[in-house]
């Protein structure tokens, strides 16, 4: 069993829809959770990060962490074609997060 599981997709939704992206994990020591966005042929860029359980909102993006279920989610509201990318979850047990464990990524396409 992988330490972090992420549905690879691909996922296609119409513009304006709400998108839900998810990761599950097995290591209960993880307490720092991140979502990266990666456009085609580019490096990942940090979208959001959260600590422990709870919700965090930033514009159209909401990150949720449920440590009891070992489950994290990223919601995208009013999705735009510019949101088309691969989304990677990442997590770490250490505050310095020098050893991130990544999910495999979900490829998302927003259809105009």
Partner 1 sequence: NAGVTQTPKFRILKIGQSMTLQCTQDMNHNYMYWYRQDPGMGLKLIYYSVGAGITDKGEVPNGYNVSRSTTEDFPLRLELAAPSQTSVYFCASSYGRGPNLAKNIQYFGAGTRLSVL
Task: Show the tokens assigned to 30.
Answer: 């993880």
Minimum distance from CB of 4 to partner 1 (Å)?
8
Alpha carbon distance 71, 94 (integer Å): 18
Give 3's contacts (C-beta < 8 A, 6+ positions apart): 25, 26, 27, 101
Binding segment (CB under 8 A) for partner 1, from list 10-18, 56-64, 69-77, 96-104: 96-104
SS3 112: coil
Q: State which of residues 105, 106, 108, 110 lies at the interface with partner 1 (CB under 8 A).
A: 105
Q: Which residues bind partner 1 (CB under 8 A)?
A: 4, 6, 8, 32, 41-46, 49, 51, 88, 90, 95-100, 102-105
């Amino acid at each position: 069993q992988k330490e972090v599981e992420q549905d690879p997709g691909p996922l296609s939704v119409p513009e304006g829809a709400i998108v839900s992206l998810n990761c599950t994990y097995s290591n209960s020591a993880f307490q720092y959770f991140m979502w990266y966005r990666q456009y085609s042929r580019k490096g990942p860029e940090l979208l959001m990060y959260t600590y422990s359980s709870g919700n965090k909102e930033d514009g159209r993006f909401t990150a949720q962490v449920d440590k009891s279920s070992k489950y994290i989610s990223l919601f995208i509201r009013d999705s735009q074609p510019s949101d088309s990318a691969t989304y990677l979850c990442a997590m770490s047990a250490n505050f310095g997060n020098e050893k991130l464990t990544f999910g495999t990524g979900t490829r998302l396409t927003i259809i105009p």
